[in-house]
Structure 1
Amino acid sequence: MDPHLPQTIDAYLERIGAARPARPDAVALRDLQLRHLTTVPFENLSIHLGEDIVLEEAALLDKIVTDRRGGFCYELNGAFAVLLRALGFRVTLLQARVHGDGGRLGIPYDHMALRVETDDGTGPWLADVGFGDHAQNPLALDDRTDQQDPRGGFRIAQAPAEGGGDYGDLEVLREGAPQFRLDPRPRALADFRGGAWYHRTSPDSGFTRSPVCSRFTTTGRITLKGHRLLTTVGAQRHETRLESDGEVFAAYHEHFGMRLDRLPPEDGVGVSASNA
């Protein structure tokens, strides 16, 4: 074990404003997920700033804890898994394919989510701090009934075998609409490198088209896209145009706790496999 991990975990807890839980139970998991969502932003800036994305535990902790940045699903849930394991939770990485336009499924390893087991006899739980606008609380992974969450009604259902659910795949639905198809087989962090490479290099990936930085709030979301600051409270959405680069730098710091030394281009990047 990394001898510096205990100090890093203490710094991680400080980063999300959480106390070390007395026990790894469902109450603690719910609190940790909410604090992570409201503190650590979902962002793809590394892709647009030409920064490397390394799916290794030490690198993920450095980015999120030391550099006080965010990331996309592989980084956020990868780091959250390290935190949870260090606190006594049993965590399994799961791969999922996201439903896109027209319900079309994305690539394998399109998304990373977490199966989390607690010591209180509840669960297992589907924890996710990397899917953008999603459930506030962990979802009961084995529950096939409707689950009410502050962000809407969710259901986890068996996926049809003819649609690729041959391994007991599960559909995660929000208000009846499928969000992603979850493969319940355990995965390792290295398994997601291909998906991460695709999303940081392919013009077909939405992540390469434009930079975004978004954080969950207790009433909605706050999102920065280039010079556009979007605030959502319930069903109401407000947009503010930031006129100068200085205002954008200040917005990254004020709303996301990030101090950038340069801004990503607003119109995306022409990334390719050659510069991955």
Structure 2
Amino acid sequence: MDSEEIDAYLRRLGAKRPARPTTDALRALQLCHLRTVPFENLSIHLGEEIVLEEKQLLDKVVGARRGGFCYELNGAFGALLASLGYDVTLFAARVYGEEGRLGVPYDHLALRVRTVDGGDWLSDVGFGAHSHFPLAFRERDDQADPGGTFRIAEAGPDAAGAGGGPASAGAGDLDVLRDGTPAYRLELRPRVLGDFVTGAWWHSTSPRSHFRQSLVCSRVTEDGGRVTLSGRKLVLTGAAGGGREERELGTDEEVLAAYRERFGIQLERVPTVRGLP
């Protein structure tokens, strides 16, 4: 990523270029990303190809002012951080689903980020409702965050796999928990963006993927709450302890206006859940 591309990305986030790759700068960049770049799976239902290459990710997130799901968001954010001088490692994870079952390999992409002031962080802007700030990677106690109480723990020996069978933890695997509930299991082996192509393909095509079964577009709001458009349902959630407001949008014009005004996404037509093969 060259200097011009870095500046364009930072303008997209409404952030200033940090003087040094510090912990404070990382915290600010992650929060800006969560507030401005939505977690969304619209491409799957608009028939748009998802390409996990840096140029295509920048064209989508920065040029087209869109969002994406984990591979796209953390892939793009990781490229930005590396270009700013951070030490970035891509890790694969498997997401916990119903009954504590783990998803498919390469189910999720998360970032380990080291800073020049000695910080070692788990950074994730691609998991929907998650921590607003990076989590201390080596900390094993609870970590308070506006998004909840998080814990990074050594993975246990038993968890059901995507097919229902046992999925044993690998050496050094870590479970990331939110409010006491496991969110995903992190595999501590460095990956490259191309490793996640099969995971992105599975989530884009498999009838078992929840991304194929529903529409979502969501971001953190400036007050620490969240705004989500799920199909035609607009949901506004306040910060911790705040209220929740839901309303169904009746017309296509209302839906397109919500994408435009709430998320900055300009669409020519309303996306609908595509038929499964």
TM over 0.5: yes
2:232, 2:118 → 1: CA distance? 47
Secondary structure of 1:97's counterpart equals strand
Counterpart of 1:240, as a letter, is R
Of residues 50, 60, 64 in structure 2, which corresponds to 1:53? 50
2:94, 2:21 → 1: CA distance? 29
1:209, 1:219 → 2: CA distance? 28
Of residues 100, 104, 126 in structure 1, which corresponds to 2:97? 100
Paired residues for 1:78-117 under 5 Å: 78-117=75-114
Deviation at 1:228, TM superposition (A): 1.4
2:134, 2:53 → 1: CA distance? 24
2:87, 2:24 → 1: CA distance? 15
1:64 aligns with 2:68: no
- 1:154 matched to which residue of 2? 150
2:89, 2:276 → 1: CA distance? 31
**TM norm structure 1:** 0.94
Secondary structure of 1:119's counterpart equals coil
Counterpart of 1:95, as a letter, is A
Counterpart of 2:53, as a letter, is E
Counterpart of 2:184, as a letter, is F
Deviation at 1:219, TM superposition (A): 2.6
> Does the 8 A contact of 2:170 with 2:187 survive in 1?
no
2:209, 2:197 → 1: CA distance? 15
Of residues 270, 273, 276 in structure 1, which corresponds to 2:275? 270
Secondary structure of 1:18's counterpart equals coil
- 2:162 matched to which residue of 1? none
1:166, 1:48 → 2: CA distance? 35
1:223 aligns with 2:260: no
- 1:37 matched to which residue of 2? 34
- 1:202 matched to which residue of 2? 206
- 1:260 matched to which residue of 2? 267
Of residues 125, 129, 138 in structure 2, which corresponds to 1:129? 125
Greater displacement, 40-49 / 148-157: 148-157
> Does the 8 A contact of 2:122 with 2:135 survive in 1?
yes
2:275, 2:52 → 1: CA distance? 22
Counterpart of 1:127, as a letter, is S
**TM norm structure 2:** 0.93
- 1:143 matched to which residue of 2? 139
1:190, 1:49 → 2: CA distance? 23
Counterpart of 2:253, as a letter, is G
Of residues 243, 247, 253 in structure 2, which corresponds to 1:236? 243
Of residues 175, 178, 182 in structure 1, which corresponds to 2:182? 178
Structure 2 runs not aligned, ≥5 long: 160-167
> Does the 8 A contact of 1:200 with 1:271 survive in 2?
no
2:49, 2:190 → 1: CA distance? 26
2:180, 2:215 → 1: CA distance? 29
Deviation at 1:162, TM superposition (A): 4.7
Greater displacement, 60-69 / 206-215: 206-215
Greater displacement, 206-215 / 69-78: 206-215
1:109, 1:30 → 2: CA distance? 26
Of residues 159, 184, 190 in structure 1, which corresponds to 2:194? 190
Secondary structure of 1:135's counterpart equals coil
Cα deviations by residue, 1:36-90 (Å, 9 ceiling, x for unpaired): 0000000000000000000001100000000000000000000000110111101
RMSD: 1.1
1:112, 1:193 → 2: CA distance? 11
Of residues 225, 242, 253 in structure 2, which corresponds to 1:246? 253
Secondary structure of 1:171's counterpart equals strand
1:166, 1:259 → 2: CA distance? 43
2:266, 2:186 → 1: CA distance? 35
Structure 1 runs not aligned, ≥5 long: none
Cα deviations by residue, 1:220-260 (Å, 9 ceiling, x for unpaired): 11011222111111342111222211111111110000111
2:262, 2:59 → 1: CA distance? 21
> Does the 8 A contact of 2:146 with 2:224 survive in 1?
no
